[in-house]
């Protein structure tokens, strides 16, 4: 993953990172990437995993071998060292351990361990400082934690951990935005200068195109897309179910994957990744 993000920084685009959870979703992302000659990331985490980490890694490798576009497989928002170790054993090419809501020292110590395990294998490590919250926290529908990233902490974190890329919080949120996000671009510029590594935008879904382009120009090299993919997939299935017709599941899933593909195609273009493979 680090090689793809570095190329994005050099050439002024961001690598889209798409949430996948099975063979169909992984194959759809790769198929769309091939069509548009785009590097892509396949990401999955504890909230999406339907197969074992080993089975998903085997599936992703087999599918990727059928295409000739660069791709990486990422553990997204890993929540334990055990999950990281399982993904490393399975052959994931990048891992994230999200300890962003824990005390700074605990976050640093954990990511130091991850880097020590991953670096000899050539595996990219993503960390997070500050905490990217959720849209429903802001609207009062949930309880969680959101904290903007402090540039001095970002600098100290990268220096202490040697992570390859850094997820940051500058007004971005996970989930489906009910209003345009309010990005702090001044903070983003400071974070770019302080961190000195590719920066990651979590909560990419729903980001206005102009804001996205500005964020990429200020150091965002990876954009995570999950909520839009899930919503498009779900809407097709709900529509078919509510129509009262006899639901032939394979056909409904095929239609849902076409909706999924349209979102992937959209974001490959929005991030500027089309034609970069």
- As a whole number of angstroms, the distance between CA 14 and CA 4 comes to 9
Two tokens at 228? 């839009």
Closest of 144, 164, 166 to residue 153, by C-alpha: 166
Cβ atoms of 187 and 219 within 8 Å: the answer is no
Q: Cβ contacts of residue 5 below 8 Å, gap of 6+?
A: 15, 124, 164, 165, 198, 221, 222
| Residue 76 is among the residues annotated as catalytic for this protein | yes
Q: How far apart are the first and last CA of the chain?
A: 14
CA of 228: how far to CAs of 16, 147, 246, 267, in Å? 13, 23, 27, 10
- The residue annotated as part of the active site, out of 76, 98, 150, 164, is 76
Burial of 246 (0-12, 13-18, 19+ CB in 10 A): exposed
Q: Report the distance separating Cα 189 and Cα 49, nearest Å.
A: 34
3-state SS class at 92 = coil
- The DSSP element (H or E) to which 200 belongs, if any, is strand 199-201
* Active site residues per annotation: 76
């Amino acid at each position: 993953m680090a090689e793809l993000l570095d190329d994005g920084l050099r050439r002024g685009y961001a690598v889209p990172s798409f949430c996948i959870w099975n063979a169909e979703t992984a194959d759809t992302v790769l198929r769309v990437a091939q069509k548009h000659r785009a590097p892509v990331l396949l990401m999955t985490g504890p909230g999406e995993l339907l197969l074992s980490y080993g089975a998903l890694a085997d599936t992703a490798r087999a599918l990727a071998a059928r295409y000739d576009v660069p791709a990486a497989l990422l553990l997204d928002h890993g929540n334990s060292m055990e999950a990281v170790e399982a993904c490393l054993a399975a052959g994931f090419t990048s891992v994230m351990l999200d300890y962003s809501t824990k005390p700074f020292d605990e976050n640093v110590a954990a990511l130091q361990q991850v880097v020590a395990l991953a670096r000899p294998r050539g595996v990219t490590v993503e960390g997070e400082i500050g905490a990217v919250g959720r849209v429903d926290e802001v609207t009062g529908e949930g309880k969680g934690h959101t904290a903007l990233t402090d540039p001095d902490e970002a600098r100290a974190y990268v220096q202490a951990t040697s992570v390859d890329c850094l997820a940051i919080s500058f007004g971005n949120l996970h989930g489906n935005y009910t209003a345009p996000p309010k990005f702090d671009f001044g903070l983003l510029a400071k974070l770019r200068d302080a961190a000195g590594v590719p920066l990651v935008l979590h909560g990419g879904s729903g980001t206005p195109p102009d804001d996205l382009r500005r964020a990429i120009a200020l150091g965002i090299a990876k954009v995570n897309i999950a909520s839009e993919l899930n919503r498009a997939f779900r809407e097709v299935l709900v529509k078919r179910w509510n129509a009262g017709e006899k639901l032939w599941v394979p056909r409904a899933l095929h239609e849902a994957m076409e909706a999924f593909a349209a979102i992937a195609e959209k974001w490959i273009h929005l991030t500027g990744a089309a034609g970069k493979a």
